[in-house]
Amino acid sequence: MRTGLRSARQTRLLDNSAGARCLALSPDGRRLLSGHDDKSLRLWDGAGGILLRVFQDHAGPVTGAAFTGDQRRAVSVSEDGSLRLWDLDSGKCLATIMVHNGPVTALGLSPDGLLALTGGQDKTLRLWSVITCKHEGSFVGHEGPVSAAAFAGGGRLVVSASEDATLRVWEAASGECLRVLSGHAAPVRAAAVLPDGRGAVSASSDGRWRLWDLETGRCLHESEAAGAVNALCITSDGAFALAAAEGGDLKVLHALTGAPAGAFAGHSARLTAVVEAPGPGSGPPEGAVFTCGADGIRSWGLEWERAEGELAVPYPRERQGMKAIAKLLWGVGALVALAGAALVLRQQTSLGPMTAGEPPAAAPPSVSAQPASLPAPGPSSLDFVKDPGIGSGEPGVSFTPEMKARLPQAEAFKRLFPFLLPKQIAELERACVLHDLCDPVAACRSTGLWDACVKSCQASRSCPESLAGPERTPVAAPRR
């Protein structure tokens, strides 16, 4: 665990040609994304500081960026109100979604990199699928623009900060506001979740620093030591916070108290973002930190003093017993839900458990005797093509000509998988149209619907041999 900062030095000036608004490091630390006032998103080699690619499609300054879970794609948001999905290898914009009625001011990705959380000047937060670009939910309650947004609790919770001087804790699945964290007397400019996912820190424009318990909503500590901060990054051990200061300094603060541990000059203008390299590997060395502001991007080398032990966050002790009981009840509930889901699926398809190399069980008489009586395809699940899109004031997807050309291929999924639910068909069609995954094998794998696809094919007696995973043997065709 880090106990103090020994020294810090500026190691490289990456760019000073355009003001930078945001930064994001890939999980392996090899590549760095930066969003700029000139409406561009830039990809850098994290170790060498070499510019690899420039992405230019946004109509306003880029205010947020993040790598997806596979690190092959990136998400960016802008003051033009849009979210864009990029292919980092080809440089192509894969999808454009109008996510807010006004500038997007915050961006966060789920731990698995499959969901994007956006916050806007319109005082709302919205949740989007990175795979399908589908709107998954909204979080409404703030009375001011959203300044920060992040997942917590392993993806179970969403934490947001706002210029209304509050933080809010939401349930990610339902969008319900669980707690309002009030106490700041000025707009909250920056916030970050601790690595354990149970606590968060926040800094307001009047220099106040607060440590929060997200499970109870209690403020565990408050101080005035932080000063004016625009962005925060918590070190991997949770002991310190790296702060992008209004005056242009890189500040190092004790995360639990906000007490200063060091301040280092290097920028001549206000800082807007700070990120830390994940650690040793093929990327930047451990202790590498990147900052950005109106005068460009810089990298720093920080040397820490260390000691054995773990960070002790002062959470209330009485929570421990309740957490153990909650985990036990959650486990029992999960087992009951899985058993119920398996029973429903078996009743729907009249199929027993499938093992590798075993022919499928006989289909129900109504299916095998009259194949033509299969359920007729319902209304097209490709209705999202008609979404209003840019300039309408509502969220929508903007399609390229290549995406529109794939619509007939997407329609074929309803005929190939007649027993899938409409929502499952929609996931396959979106994977085809938005991500060029029109091959049934690729679509079923990328959406996590492999088993459902196989069972649907078996029930309709139309399962292609290619639809067999690497750990399954090809499904034998039933005898007639």
Q: Buried b vs exposed e over 56-67: b needs ≥16 C-beta within 10 Å? A: ebbeebbbbbbb
Query: What token pair was written down for 218?
Result: 């209690």
In this structure, what are the phi and psi dihedrals at residue 305, rounded to the nearest 5 degrees? -90, 140
β-pairing, 288-293 vs 296-306, is: antiparallel
Bigger pLDDT: 417 or 466? 417
Q: Are 101 and 69 in contact (CB under 8 A)?
A: no
Helix boundaries (H) for 262-318: none
What's the Cα-to-Cα distance from 390 to each of 55, 77, 102, 264, rounded to whole Å? 19, 14, 11, 43
Q: Are 261 and 254 in contact (CB under 8 A)?
A: yes
Q: What percent of the chain has pLDDT over 90?
A: 43
Confidence of residue 40 (pLDDT cuts 50, 70, 90): very high
Residue 97 in this model has a pLDDT that exceeds 70: yes
In this structure, which topology does domain 2-306 adopt according to CATH? Methylamine Dehydrogenase; Chain H (2.130.10)
Q: What percent of the chain has pLDDT over 70?
A: 76
Rounded CA separation 35/42 (Å): 7
Residue 218 in this model has a pLDDT that exceeds 80: yes
pLDDT, tens digit, for every residue of 243-275?
Answer: 998 888 888 999 988 888 888 887 888 899 999
Domain regions of the chain by residue span = 2-306, 350-382+401-460
Entry pTM: 0.67
Bigger pLDDT: 25 or 374? 25
What is the DSSP-derived secondary structure letter of residue 192? Answer: E
Among 143-147, 207-211, 344-348, 429-433, the range of highest mean pLDDT = 143-147
pLDDT, tens digit, for every residue of 455-467?
Answer: 877 776 666 666 6
CB neighbour list of residue 29: distance below 8 Å, 6 or more residues apart: 46, 277, 278, 279, 281, 282, 283, 284, 288
pLDDT value at position 247?
A: 85
Please compute the mean of the pLDDT values over residues 175-181 and round it to a whole number: 96
Sheet strands (E) in 26-69: 31-36, 40-45, 51-56, 62-67
Bigger pLDDT: 166 or 339? 166
Please compute the mean of the pLDDT values over residues 196-222 and round it to a whole number: 93
Q: Which amino acid is it at 358?
A: E
Query: What token pair was written down for 366?
Result: 């109504």
Residue 443 in this model has a pLDDT that exceeds 70: yes
pLDDT, tens digit, for every residue of 188-199?
Answer: 999 999 999 999
Bigger pLDDT: 451 or 326? 451
> Which of 154-158, 288-292, 426-430 has the weakest average pLDDT?
426-430
Residue 452 in this model has a pLDDT that exceeds 90: no
**Of 134, 222, 217, whose CA–CA distance to 182 is shortest?**
217
- Listing DSSP states for 336-403 in one string gives HHHHHHHHHHHHHHT-----TTPPPPPPPHHHHH-GGGSPPP-S-S-GGGG---TTSSS--EEPPHHH
pLDDT, tens digit, for every residue of 73-94?
Answer: 999 999 999 999 999 999 999 9
Q: Which amino acid is it at 15?
A: D
Residue 108 in this model has a pLDDT that exceeds 80: yes
Report the first-to-last Cα separation within the chain, whole angstroms. 67
pLDDT value at position 116?
A: 96
Residue 361 in this model has a pLDDT that exceeds 50: no
